[in-house]
Amino acid sequence: MAIKFQYNKTSLQQLEKQLKVRERSLPTIKSKESALRIEVKRTKDEVRSLELQLEEEIRSYENMVALWNEFNPSLIKVKDVTLSTRKIAGVLVPVLNDIEFEIGTYSLFNSPSWYADGIELLKVLARTGIEAEFSGMKLELLEHARKKTTQKVNLFEKVQIPGYKDAIRKVKRFMEDEESLSKSSQKIMRSNQEKRNLKEEEEVA
C-alpha cells in the first residue's frame, strides 16, 4: 500500500498521528484475533461433537427400522425455534434457545404402543440436528470474522506501520537535508557579504 505524503511539517505530523493510531490499536486487534481463534476451535469441537452425537443417535435407532415403516412422520413437526443473539469477541452470533414441536393427534388404542417413545426419539434427533446446524452457522460467522481480523493484523503489522515509519523517516531526512542546505546557503551568503563589505572598505581606504 503506497502511503501518500508531502515533504513538509504538516504532512509529517499527519503521518506520526496515523502511525500512533495504528500502534495503539494493534494490541486490541491482536487480542481480538486470539479470542476468535480460541472460539473458532471451541465451536469446531462443538460442531464435531454434535455431528457424532447425531450419527450415534441415528445408529442406535437402526434396529427399529422395521417399526419406523409403521410410523406416521407427519405426527411430529418443528413448530417454532426461539433464537437470540450474543456477542463473542465482538461478533454477533445466533443462539438457539428453544425448539417447540407440534405433535399431531393419534389414537392410543389403534396406534402401536411404541408411538409415544418414537415421537420422543424424533424430538431428540431433531434437537441434535438443529443444534448442529446452528453451531455450524456460528462457526461460519466466527471463522469469517477471524479471517478479517487476521487480515487487519497483517495489514497493520506488515504493511501500514512499516510504511508510515518509512515515510516519516523520508520526510525527516528531507527536512534535515533542507535545513542543512539552508544553513550552508546562509553561511555562504554571509561569507560573500563579508567579502563584499571587506572589498568595499578596502576601496574606500
Q: Does residue 110 form part of some domain? A: yes
What's the grid cell of residue 144? Answer: 469469517
pLDDT score, position 162: 94
Kindly state whether residue 155 falls inside one of the protein's structural domains. Answer: no
pLDDT for position 51? 92
Average the pLDDT over 169-183 and give the result.
82
Q: What is the pLDDT of residues 138-174, one digit of tens each?
A: 999 999 999 999 999 999 999 999 999 999 999 989 8
What does the pLDDT read at residue 201? 65
* Rounded Cα distance, 106 and 104, in Å: 7
Domain assignment present for 54 = yes
Q: Quote the domain boundaries for residue 106.
A: 25-143
Q: Is 201 a domain residue?
A: no
pTM: 0.73
| Average pLDDT over the chain, rounded to an integer | 85
Q: Are 64 and 111 in contact (CB under 8 A)?
A: no
In a domain, 108, yes or no: yes
The residue among 51 and 114 whose pLDDT is bigger is 51
- Does residue 64 sit within a domain? yes
Asked if residue 65 lies in contact with residue 120, where contact means CB atoms within 8 angstroms, the answer is: no
Tens digits of residue pLDDT in 110-138: 777 777 777 888 888 889 999 999 999 99
Which pLDDT belongs to residue 113? 73
Record the cell numbers describing residue 158, joined without a space.
506488515
Q: Count how many residues are written for the chain.
A: 205
Structural domain contains residue 192: no
User: What's the mean pLDDT in 71-77?
Assistant: 79
Task: Return the pLDDT at 149.
Answer: 96
Residue 76: per-residue pLDDT: 84
The per-residue pLDDT for 44 is 95
CA 86 to chain centre: 16
Number of domains in the chain: 1
pLDDT at 68 (0 to 100):
66
C-alpha to C-alpha distance for 103 and 189, rounded to whole angstroms: 101
Helix (H, G, I), strand (E, B) or coil at 2: coil
Domain assignment present for residue 102? The answer is yes
Per-residue cell: 2: 503506497
pLDDT at 185 over 70: no
DSSP tally for the chain: helices H, then strands E: 4, 2
Residues 52-61, mean pLDDT to the nearest whole number: 86
Distance of CA 182 to the CA centre of its chain: 50
Least confident of 61-65, 91-95, 104-108, 122-126: 61-65
